[in-house]
């Protein structure tokens, strides 16, 4: 993981519990240690139940406040169903779990 990413784990865990997150994973440049100062945070989320609809947007906004930068939030299920195998493998092949229920 990129060493410049500061995570308030307590705040992150609270958010994940409120939104019923099963797992939250980091991927992309920050997970691979290639992040630049202006890099966003790429996250994969798996919910305990169904994806929470409009609450998904609120969750992304709260994650941006926690990380202090732009967040790209995707569901793991959407990535697993992605028809582009190269994209799917590049995301799923290098993740770091930030939260697990």
Residues with a known catalytic role: 40, 42
Cβ neighbours for 22, distance < 8 A, ≥ 6 positions apart: 46, 47, 48, 100, 101
Cα separation, 4 vs 7, whole angstroms: 10
């Amino acid at each position: 993981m990129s060493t410049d990413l500061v995570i308030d784990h307590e705040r992150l865990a609270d958010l994940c519990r409120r939104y019923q997150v099963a797992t939250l994973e980091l991927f992309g440049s920050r997970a691979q240690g290639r992040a630049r100062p202006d890099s966003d945070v790429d996250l994969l989320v798996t919910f305990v139940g169904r994806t929470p609809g409009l609450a998904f947007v609120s969750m992304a906004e709260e994650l941006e406040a926690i990380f202090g930068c732009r967040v790209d939030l995707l569901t793991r299920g959407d990535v697993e169903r992605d028809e582009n195998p190269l994209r799917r493998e590049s995301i799923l092949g290098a993740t770091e779990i930030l939260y697990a229920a």
